[in-house]
Amino acid sequence: MAHEDCIFCKIIDGNIPSAKVYEDEKVYAFLDISQVTKGHTLVIPKEHTKNIYETSPEVAKELFSRVPVIANAIRDAYQPLGINVLNNNEPAAEQSVFHLHVHLIPRYGDGDGYT
């Protein structure tokens, strides 16, 4: 069920435009609007869930099982030297959008702007 006030549910539904990186029946991935490095991508479950505390093992399995595929697609597209996989939960841990998401942050070595 899409949450009415959730911007990521609106992105999944196509009501807010996004730059799609990957999609299947369970998962959607798109470029973060604020690129901390080139190719910074968010991976989200299509089923709305607030964060890791409220996520079923099944949805977590679906979401995280796609991460290797998407990380390799980003590597093919951008040729980074590495990639950070990051997930923030609750405001104290820097969560600002309350639909579970995994950040994939490609790394390009010294001076890539991400610390």
Angle of CA points 61, 58, 56, to nearest 5° = 110
- Residue 97 contacts ligand 5GP per CB under 6 A: yes
- Residue 96 contacts ligand 5GP per CB under 6 A: yes
Question: What phi and psi values does residue 67 have, to the nearest 5 degrees?
Answer: -60, -45
Distances (CA, A) of 78 to 5, 34, 38, 73: 33, 17, 7, 9
Q: Which amino acid is at 64?
A: F
Residue 9 binds: one of Zn ion, ligand 5GP, none (C-beta under 5 to 8 A by kind)? Zn ion
For 64, left (φ over 0), alpha (ψ -120 to 50), or beta? alpha
Scanning 52-60, 70-78, 80-88, 94-102 for contacts with Zn ion by CB under 5 A, the matching segment is 94-102
- Residue 5 contacts ligand 5GP per CB under 6 A: no
Residue of the chain from 41, 99, 100, 105 that contacts Zn ion (CB under 5 A): 99
Sites of contact with ligand 5GP (CB under 6 A): 7, 16, 18, 30-34, 42, 88, 94-97
Please list the active-site residues. 101
Q: Which residues bind Zn ion (CB under 5 A)?
A: 3, 6, 8-9, 48, 99
